[in-house]
Amino acid sequence: FSSDAIFSGISLKDSLNGRDTRLFSSPEEDSSLYFTYSGGQNKLEVVNLHYEVDTAAQIPWYEKLSEFKMPWEMQSGRQTAIRNLNLRVHSGQMLAVIGSSGCGKTSLLDIITCRDEGGTMTSGQVLINGKPSTPTLVRKSIAHVRQDDRLLPHLTVRETLAFVAKLRLPTHFSQAQRDQRVDDVIAELRLRQCAHTRVGNEYVRGVSGGERRRVSIAVQLLWNPGILILDEPTSGLDSFTAHNLVITLSRLAQGNRLVLLSVHQPRSDIFQIFDLVVLLSSGSAVYCGPAREMVPYFTALGHPCPRYCNPSDFYGDSVDNWWLLLLYVVPF
């Protein structure tokens, strides 16, 4: 043992005895809910969804001309992006759509929020509180946080939120109420320590990547939506920051919101936080149900998760090879 190892062992022990707990907690840890959703219960349903994309349609006509083919000779590249998908989620729950790259996570979130482009919904429907999803209904009830952050880099975090509060909150809100809402959101997303820091982007140095993701969520949370949809909110973050972010989202779900997010392959402690999981493979839901029942479900089918192995990694990798499992899709 080196003296360093012994020294760090002692300091860790002392820390655990309570001398320096800051080592194991984020600077602004707080489990209270500042900002709960006071509207009614929300329910989101996807029924028998079948979605096809035409990959050939993306190629512009002038490029097709260069192939010297007659229009009837040009092949269409139809590909099924989502196959017969069913899911149901309501307020207070956090549902994670997981699966390997290209399995259809973004397509699913885009269809739900009426932002799908270049594809056709051949059958099925998306219901928000029992009503078919339309762009107007989506704008009123769903906050969609996209994978890329679209923020003004030269504003500070507080200025960004104050600006959005001016534009997005109803006109009957007084200035004091708007300021209060900004304060609540900053507290909820633990952004107090960087509230006066510039947001920045890849050219302008500003807040950290994780903080910027939280600012993007804060911008949407400001108008207090009942349904929050996030496309890969943890991508590009280190695992500790990703874990903290998912805990924040879980708290938002506990505050009577419906949270739906896509994640590539979450680490095991993140996976445990989810209430419901949809595991996609080439557009089909291979598992669709409570997160804690996913491992027993696959184990019962004769595919136990090896010890010390992350279930989302193991099943995410293997599921593409188990085409037989597609027969066992569980609707919930």
Ligand X SMILES: Nc1ncnc2c1ncn2[C@@H]1O[C@H](COP(=O)(O)OP(=O)(O)OP(=O)(O)O)[C@@H](O)[C@H]1O
Nearer to Mg ion, 106 or 224 (CB): 106
Closest distance between Mg ion and the C-beta of residue 84, in Å? 20
Closest distance between ligand X and the C-beta of residue 140, in Å? 25
- Which structure tokens are listed for 60? 């512009």
Site string for ligand X, 213-242 (x = CB under 6 A): ------------------------------
Closest distance between ligand X and the C-beta of residue 52, in Å? 9
Q: Which of 42, 91, 93, 106 binds Mg ion (CB under 5 A)?
A: 106
Establish how many alpha carbons lie within 13 A of residue 331's alpha carbon, considering only the half-sphere containing its beta carbon: 10
In SS3 terms, 114-156 reads as CCCCCEEEEEEEEEECCEECCHHHHHHHEEEECCCCCCCCCCE
Nearer to ligand X, 66 or 101 (CB): 101
278 closest CA partner among 22, 94, 71, 50 = 94
- Residue 117 touching ligand X (CB under 6 A): yes
Applying CB under 5 A, the span of 98-106, 157-165, 214-222, 252-260 interacting with Mg ion comes to 98-106
Phi and psi (nearest 5°) for 155?
Answer: -90, 150
- Residue 285 touching ligand X (CB under 6 A): no
Nearer to ligand X, 98 or 164 (CB): 98
188 closest CA partner among 143, 229, 249 = 249
Q: Which residues 237-276 are close enough to bind ligand X by CB under 6 A? A: 264
Closest distance between ligand X and the C-beta of residue 26, in Å? 28
Phi and psi (nearest 5°) for 95?
Answer: -110, 130
Q: Which residues 90-109 are close enough to bind ligand X by CB under 6 A? A: 101-107
Q: How far apart, in whole angstroms, are the C-alpha atoms of residue 309 and residue 35?
A: 36
Task: Choose the one of ligand X, Mg ion, none that binds residue 55, judging by a C-beta under 5 to 8 angstroms depending on kind.
Answer: ligand X
Site string for ligand X, 39-78 (x = CB under 6 A): --------------x-x--x--------------------
Q: How far apart, in whole angstroms, are the C-alpha atoms of residue 331 and residue 220?
A: 30
Nearer to ligand X, 53 or 191 (CB): 53
Nearer to ligand X, 185 or 246 (CB): 246
Closest distance between Mg ion and the C-beta of residue 25, in Å? 32
Residues 6 or more apart in contact with residue 26 via CB below 8 angstroms: 190, 244
Query: Which amino acid type is present at position 189?
Result: L
Closest distance between Mg ion and the C-beta of residue 102, in Å? 8
Closest distance between ligand X and the C-beta of residue 126, in Å? 15
Nearer to ligand X, 84 or 197 (CB): 84
Nearer to Mg ion, 9 or 102 (CB): 102
Nearer to ligand X, 101 or 321 (CB): 101
Residues 6 or more apart in contact with residue 62 via CB below 8 angstroms: none
How many amino acids of this chain bind Mg ion (CB under 5 A)?
Answer: 1
Contact 258, 226 (CB under 8 A): yes
Task: Choose the one of ligand X, Mg ion, none that binds residue 331, judging by a C-beta under 5 to 8 angstroms depending on kind.
Answer: none
Residues 6 or more apart in contact with residue 72 via CB below 8 angstroms: none
Query: Which amino acid type is present at position 112?
Result: I
Residues 6 or more apart in contact with residue 248 via CB below 8 angstroms: 188, 189, 190, 214, 217
173 by Cβ neighbours in 10 Å (0-12 / 13-18 / 19+) ranks as: middle
Chain positions contacting Mg ion, by CB under 5 A: 106
Point out which residues bind ligand X (CB under 6 A). Answer: 53, 55, 58, 81, 101-107, 117-119, 264
